[in-house]
Amino acid sequence: MTFAGLSARAASLFAVCALTLGACAAPPPRAQDAQVASAPTAPIKLRLGVSLTAEELKDYEAAVKALDEARPEWEIALEQVPQDGNLEKLTANAAAGALPDVQYVFTNQARRFIAQGAFLDLTPLVAKYTFDLADFYPNLLAPLQFERDGAQGLYGIPTNAAPEIVFYNKAMFDAAKLDYPTDAWTLDDMRVAARKLTLDKSGRNAEDPAFDKSQVAQWGWYGALPAGLYSRSFITPLDADWCANPDCSQMDFTSAPVLKAIQFWADMSVNEGTALADTFRGSQTGAGGDPFIAGQAAMGMNGWFAIGQLNSQGSINYDVVQPFKGPSGTRGSGVSVSGYAISATSANPDEAFKLLMALSEPAFLSRVWAKPGHGIPARRSVAADAVDTAHPPANQAAAIAALEFGQPFAPYTSGGVEAYLTTIDLFIAALKGERALEPTLKEIETTANDILQKAGP
C-alpha cells in the first residue's frame, strides 16, 4: 500500500472517528418546558444524582421518598454514587450526555464541568420561578458562579456547607494545666499554648531546653498549612491573601505580606516543632489520616464533618471554638460546599429546577443535613438547626458563626486539583525545613500559576 493510500485510509478513519465523536459530543435535542394546557397525566421521571455517606443517605432517602409522595407529578429516581468514585461517575456521565436531571456536586469538583457546559445556567430559571437567593450565605455562591461570553451566570445552588473550626483535645489541655481556648483567642495565644502542648516521646514540652523536635509524640497544633494551596484560611487572618484575583486563578506566594504570613506557620513547624509539616500522609506521625482524630494533636482546624467522625469514635473528649483571630481581629475559615446543579441535557429542565427548589426548602435542608457530621444547611434561616447539644461538642455555635466569614476552598478553577497535587510535596518539604522557604515558594508560585493558567477557567 502506498503512502498516499495509507494516508487516505488514515484520513477516512479519522473522519469516521471525528463524526462518531461529533455525534457523541453534541447534546441530544432538549424538550422545551412542558407547559401543556392540560395537567400532565404521567409523572415526569426526574433523576437525582447524589454522593453521600452511608449515614447521610439514610436520612436523605427517607426525605426524598416523602417528597416523592407529596409531589405526584414527579417520579424521583435517586442515584447514589460512592464518594470515592464520584468524579469518575460525573466524568463518564458528562461525556455521554447522561448526567442526572439534578446533580449533587462538590464545588471543588464542579468547576471543570461547569466550564465544559455540562450544567445549565440557572439565572433564567431563578428569575422565572422567583427563587429567593437572599436566604443563602452569599460567600457560598462564588464557586458556582461562572462567566461565559461576558455574562455572569449561576450554575448551581449551594445546599450544605462544612466550615473549618478549631477542635481541641480537652484531656491534653488538662494535662498541660492550660485553660481551654475561647472565641477571644488570637493566633499568638495559640502559638504560645502550642509550645506547652507539644510533647516529645520523653514527655518534655517544646519550652523545655531538652525538647527533641525529631521525637514528637503529641503536636500542639495540627498542621502548618496542612492543605498546601488550599490553606488560604491560615493566611487571611494574618492580613495577607495569596489569591491574587477573585476566583484565585492567579496566586501570589512571594509578595511581602504573604511571605510574612507563611513564615508564621513555617516558624512553628521548622523552628519550634509544634506544628506538623506533613499533616495527613503520616511521615511524621507514623500513621496516615487526620492527626487530631487519631489523638496525636492538641488543636487543629477541621471541618464540620469531623464531629460525626469523632462522636462515632468516642475516644476523644473535645470541644470546638471559632478559628483564632489574627492581629487585626480577622478570622479565616475554609468551607467545603456542596450544591445542586441541573444537567444541560436534561429533558425537563423546568421540572428539574422545581425539584431543586423543593430540595432547597428550609424544612428539607433541616431534616436532611442538620446533624453533626453532615453538613450545615446553606440557608441562614435554618443553619442553626444543625446545632444539637445532645451530642458533643458543646460549642457547635462556633461553626454557625464561622459561616459568616468562611470562604470556599480555592483555587476551585479547573486546574485547582492538579495545582494542588503538583505543589503539595514542595510545601511539605519547605515546612519540614528540607528546602529554603523563599525559593520554594517562588517555585510553587510559578508551577501553580502555570497549571492554573493552562487549565483555564
Partner 1 sequence: MGALRGPKVRSEKSKVESSKGHSIFFYFLLLTCAVFFLFPFMWMLSTALKPGHLLFVEPPVWFIWPPAWNNFVEAWNSAGFGRYGVNSMWVAGVTIIGTVGSSSLAGFAFATLPARGKRLWFGLLLATMMVPAWATLIPSFLLFSRLGLTDSYLPFVLPAFCAPAVYVFLFRQSFLGLPPQLLDAAEVDGATPLQSYWHIALPLSKPVLATVAVFAFIGAWNDFLNPLIYLRSLEKYTLALGLSFLNGPNFQRLHWQMAMSLVALAPVVVIVLVAQKLVVNSFDVGGIHL
Partner 2 sequence: MRNHQRHSHRDRYREKWFYVLIGPWLIGFALFQVVPLSAGLGLSLFDWTPAQPLRWAGLTQVMAALTDPRTHLALVNTAKYVLGSVPLTLGLALVLAMSFHAARGMPGTSVLRTAVFLPSVMSGVAIAFAWAWLFDPNFGPVNGALETIGIAGPGWFKNQHWAMPAMVLLSAWTCGGAMVIYLAALQMLPRELHEAAMLDGAGPWARFRSITLPLLSPVTFYLIVIALISALQLFTPAYVITRGGPQGATLMTGLHVYLTGFQFGRFGQASALSLLVLLIALAVTAIQFKLSGRWVHYEGQK
Q: Is the bond leading into 393 cis (omega within 30 degrees of zero)?
A: yes
User: In terms of Cα–Cα distance, which of 11, 30, 77 is closest to 50?
Assistant: 77
Backbone angles phi, psi at 293, to 5 degrees: -65, -30
Is there binding between residue 419 and partner 1 (CB under 8 A)?
Answer: no
Check if the beta carbon of residue 371 is closer than 8 Å to that of residue 386. Answer: yes
Cβ count near 312 (within 10 Å) = 11
Residues lying near partner 2 in the complex (CB under 8 A) are found at: 13-14, 16-18, 20-22, 25-27, 87-88, 91, 94-97, 112, 116-118, 281-283, 285-288, 344-345, 414-415, 417-418, 421, 425, 429, 455
Helix, strand, coil % in the chain, rounded to nearest 5: 45, 20, 35
CA 276 distance to own-chain centroid? 21
In the complex, the smallest distance separating the C-beta of residue 141 from partner 1, rounded to whole angstroms, is: 22
37 binds partner 1 per the rule CB under 8 A: no
126 versus 294: smaller Cβ distance to partner 1: 294
Task: Verify binding: residue 142, partner 1, rule CB under 8 A.
Answer: no
Count Cα neighbours of 130 within 13 Å in the Cβ-side half-sphere.
Answer: 0
**Nearest approach, Cβ of residue 206 and partner 2 (Å):** 20
The rounded distance, in Å, linking the Cα atoms of 255 and 240 is 9
Q: Are strands 199-200 and 334-342 parallel, antiparallel or unpaired?
A: unpaired
Instruction: Give me the 157-196 binding string for partner 1, x by CB under 8 A, dash otherwise.
Output: -----x----------------------------------
Query: Which partner, partner 2, partner 1, none, binds residue 8 by CB below 5 to 8 Å per kind?
Result: none
Q: Which does 331 bind (CB under 5 to 8 A by kind): partner 1, partner 2, none?
A: none
55 binds partner 1, rule: CB under 8 A: yes
User: Of the candidates 124, 203, 246, 289, which one interacts with partner 1 according to CB under 8 A?
Assistant: 289
**Smallest distance, Å, CB 24 to partner 1?**
5
Q: Where are the beta strands (DSSP E) in 207-358?
A: 216-221, 297-303, 318-321, 334-342
194 contacts 298 by C-beta, under 8 angstroms: yes
Binding region for partner 1 (CB under 8 A)? 24, 47, 53-55, 57, 77-85, 88-89, 91-92, 95-98, 162, 287, 289, 293-295, 303, 305, 308-309, 312-315
